[in-house]
Amino acid sequence: MTESAILSSVESGPKRRILCVFPRYVPSFGTFEYAYPLTPGVRAFMPPQGLLLIAAVLPKHWDVRFIDENMDSASAHDFAWADAVFVSGMHIQRRQMEDIRARAHALGRPVALGGPSVSACPEEYPRFDYLHVGELGDATGALIAILSRDVARPPKQIVLTTKERLPLAAFPAPAYELAKIDRYFLGSIQFSSGCPYTCEFCDIPGLYGRVPRLKTPAQVVGELDKLLACGVNGSIYFVDDNLVGNRRALQDLLPHLVEWQKRNGYAVSFACEATLNIARSPEILRLMREAAFDTIFCGIETPEPAALKAIQKSHNVAAPILDSVRAINDHGMEVVTGIILGLDTDTPDTGERIVDFLAQSHIPLATINLLQALPRTPLWDRLRSEGRLRENDAELESNVEFKLPYDDVLAMWRRCMEKAYDPKALFARYEYQMRATRPNRLKRPKSRQRLSPRNIRMAFVILAKLSWKVGVRGSYRRAFWSFMLRRLMRGQIEPVLSVGLVAHHLIMFARDACSGKSNASHYSAKTRPLEVNAPLARQSPAQ
C-alpha cells in the first residue's frame, strides 16, 4: 500500500475541516512537568507522532488543526469549527480521551479514535463514532473515504481495522508545522516500529510485530530538517521502542545522522530507547557518540537475574548489567532506566536491592513503577488465567494481584522513591556522570547554531530561574549549590542547565509520590483530583 492509495478515492472530494486533539497526560515521572516553569515557554513534553502523522496523510485540500491539550484545551469554538474530530492516545490517557469525545459530541461532531490504546482494547471505547484499530493503512483510507462522503455521526459505531499497513518507508513526514514545536521540552522522531523481544509485560510485539519495520535514512534526515525549521528545542528523542531492534539498519542510519549533525553545527543532541545489550555493539556505540546521542533509555526492570528470566528478559543478563552500563557510559552516554516493583519474584528486600543497584550503577534517572498488566501482553493472559487481574478497581495503584501484600509493595515503592531521589543521593549520581561519562562525549563545536541568540537567551532565563527558584527559595538548595557551584566555576553551563532542570523535576515529583499525591505507576488508573494531578493547571500562561 502507498500513501496515494490511501487517498485515491478522495483526491477531488469535498473539503473537510478536521480537528486533531491530543489528550492531556496525567503528570508522571517521565514527562518532566516540574521543569516547565523553569524554562521559557515550554508547556509540554514532546509532540505526538501518531496524530501528526495522520494529519500529514489527510487530503491536501482539507483544513486540519492540531491541539495538544497538554498546552491548551480545545474550546467549544474549535469543536464547532470542525466537521470531525480525531483523537489518539495511550491507556493512561483513557479518561482524557473520553472527555474530548464528550465535548465533541455535545456539539454533534463525530469522533474517530486511533492509537495504541484502542488498537489493544477496542471494546473499552464503545461511545466513539469510529474506531481506527491498528496502524496507518487501509483502515485510514476507509475512514477518509467515509468522511469525504458524509460527516454526520453514524447511527452506530464503525470499527475499521488495518489489514494492509502502509510501509514506514512510505510514511510522510509528520505535520510538525501544525504543532508548537518550540513549546515542547524536546522533539520526537521515529525510525523503526516493532521489537524482536517478547518481554512478558510489554505490548509492543502484540501491537507492532517482532520484525522491526524501517524508514529510510533520507526520511529521517528530512524529518530532522523539518523539526529544526519548526524551532525544536535542544534535544530530539527517537521514540522507537527499541532503536537497536535491527542492528544493521541502525548502523546504516548512524553515519547519516553524523553528517546531519556536522552540517547543522550539532544544533541538537539525541536520545533513544534501546535494549541493554546495545552495550555489546561497540561500533554502534562509537557512531552514536559521533552523532551526539547523550542518553539511552534501557529497560533494566530489575537487577535480579532470576527475576529477569521470569519476565522473559534474560537478554539483560547476557553480560553483567553493571558492565553494560559502564560500556555505554564509556561512550559518553548516560543510561536512563525503568525499574518495576511487584514482580512475582520480589521479596521484602527487593526495594533495598534496587536502591543499592542505583548507587552502584550511578544511573541518575530511573522510572520506578509498580507492575501493570497491559492488554495484548503475555502477562495479561497469564494473570487472567490465574485469576490475578484487578480489572475494575480504580482505587488501587495496579491491576495486578501481587504475590506480596499490596500495602507492602506500595510502601516499598515509596521507600525506593524517597531514597533514590533524596537530593544528596541524586546529585551524587550526577557527580559521577560528570566525572566518568560526560568527559567521554564528543566535543561539540561552538557553532552559530548552538550559540544562536535564541539559545543564549534561553540559557540565561533557565539559569536565572534555577538560581532563584531552587538556589534561593528551594528546599534542597544546599545540595543544589554543592553540585552547581563547581560547574559554574569551571564555566560548565550546559550541565548546570540540563542537570538542574531534570533533577528539580525528579526531586519534586518523588516528594509528591512519597506523600501519596502522585500515582505509583505511569499506567495506574487510580483517580486523583485535577488540582493534584496537574501542576501545569496552576501556572500562568507566561510561565
The pLDDT of residue 540 is: 28
Query: What is the residue-averaged pLDDT of the chain?
Result: 93
d(CA 1, CA 65): 26
Residues forming beta bridges with residue 334, ordered by sequence position: 295
Residue 351, pLDDT > 70, answer yes
The pLDDT of residue 527 is: 57
Over pLDDT 70: what percentage of the chain? 93
Q: What is the pTM of this model?
A: 0.93
Percent composition of the chain: helix, strand, coil (DSSP 3-state, to 5): 45, 15, 40
Q: For the ranges 45-59, 133-147, 394-408, 413-427, which has the lowest average pLDDT? A: 394-408
Kindly state the average pLDDT of the residues 167-178. Answer: 98
The pLDDT of residue 5 is: 66
Q: Residue 515 — very low, low, confident or very high, per pLDDT cuts 50/70/90? A: confident
Q: Are the beta carbons of 214 and 243 closer than 8 angstroms? A: no
Q: Residue 521 — very low, low, confident or very high, per pLDDT cuts 50/70/90? A: low
The pLDDT of residue 538 is: 29
Kindly state the average pLDDT of the residues 472-479. Answer: 97
Q: Residue 476 — very low, low, confident or very high, per pLDDT cuts 50/70/90? A: very high
Residue 141, pLDDT > 80, answer yes
246-283: pLDDT as tens digits: 999 999 999 999 999 999 999 999 999 999 999 999 99
Q: Are the beta carbons of 327 and 318 closer than 8 angstroms? A: no
Residue 303, pLDDT > 70, answer yes
Kindly state the average pLDDT of the residues 97-112. Answer: 98
Burial status of residue 454 (CB atoms within 10 A of its CB: 0-12, 13-18, 19 or more): exposed
Residue that the C-alpha cell 528539580 belongs to: 504
The pLDDT of residue 533 is: 35
Grid coordinates of 519: 500515582
Residue 240, pLDDT > 60, answer yes
The pLDDT of residue 541 is: 27
Domains of the chain and any CATH numbers: 3-37+46-161 (3.40.50), 185-332 (3.20.20.70), 352-441+464-527 (no CATH)
Q: Are the beta carbons of 296 and 274 closer than 8 angstroms? A: yes
